[in-house]
Amino acid sequence: MKKIPIGISSCLLGEAVRFDGGHKRDAYIVGTLGEFFEFHPFCPEMAIGLGAPRPTLQLVKTDGAVRCVGVKDASQDVTDRLRDYAAQEQPIFADLCGYILKKDSPSCGMERVKVYSNGQPRKEGVGIYAAELLRNNPLLPVEEEGRLGDASLRENFIQRVYVFYRWKHLLAEGLSVNALMTFHARHKLIIMSHADYHELGHLLANHNKGDLEEMAAHYIGQLMALLKIVVNRSNHVNVLQHIQGYLKKELSPDNKAELSEVIERYRIGEVPLIVPLTLLKHHFRKYPDPYIENSYYMSPYPQELRLINQL
């Protein structure tokens, strides 16, 4: 598989574009994710000509509107320039499968950015550039580098990137009812781990009642929204037990008991998700099942990322 195109704040790659002339190189992003992602760096503040180093900016709420202005010189308002730059780059954004933003930035922060009102800060804002990016690309998986330090949030983001990548690949090969049904079938267990998948199934069941492209747009919109829900152990246990059911006629009583025990140990937090998944893969190598073999649930992304080892 070729590397997946991902947008990223330039400073996270080590580019000296920060307000202080420095950078915020992230070793995990560059070293680990860089093996699988092709990064497309963006620095909106540099792109609109502010330079580095430069006067610091902040978000300020005035008359109900949030503006991005200079800390020392409030007349330096770059709000519209940041929005215009985000709109200008939209053709490039449309080709991306994900985006990693710099936290706390008045231009790039995804959430909880300080907004000043009457001189008092509240962590309730979104960076101006980031807000435009999110508004124009609702399907795009977006995360902040700070949140990637959380194992569950990291896994959630990367899983969404790979699902969106496969969706774009489907569209590139040509949308058809059969391709859409196959895509759904291969992702059904992943969907089940996040939320109830029946609504998406009902949507596909009515494919003869409307335009295929319109239905596909509704489908991927609902799917990417569902996948934002971070999976908990209970949901994974439900899926693991569902998969276990495909082996009920093949396994001996001892093997069944062992598998149930491992799933229970995962449920109570004694072992990570990789342990029951490895045991299930072992049994399915001996007793193959076409549906499970084609499902992405047990191999949603390259195992070298080692994401499920920490869940």
| Pair (171, 193) in one structural domain | yes
Domain boundary residue, one of 92, 119, 149: 149
What pLDDT does 11 receive? 97
Tokens of 223: 């799917």
E-assigned strands of 71-186? 99-101, 113-117, 120-125, 142-144
Structure confidence by residue, pLDDT tens digits, 117-151: 988 999 999 999 999 999 999 999 999 999 999 99
| Pair (296, 158) in one structural domain | yes
| Pair (109, 239) in one structural domain | no
Structure confidence by residue, pLDDT tens digits, 238-269: 999 999 999 999 999 999 999 999 999 999 99
| Pair (310, 191) in one structural domain | yes
Number of C-beta neighbours around residue 154 at 10 A: 19
Residue 224, beta-bridge partner list: none
Tokens of 70: 């200079």
Strand, helix or coil at 57?
strand
Structure confidence by residue, pLDDT tens digits, 152-186: 999 999 999 999 999 999 999 999 999 999 999 99
- What is the H or E stretch that residue 257 is in? helix 253-267
How many structural domains does the chain have? 2
> What does the alpha-carbon distance between residue 287 and residue 297 come to, in Å, rounded to a whole number?
18
Domain boundary residue, one of 121, 149, 177: 149
Domain boundary residue, one of 91, 119, 149: 149
| Pair (208, 60) in one structural domain | no
Nearest to 296 by CA among 140, 165, 178: 165
Predicted structure pTM score: 0.94
Domain of 131, in residue numbers: 4-149
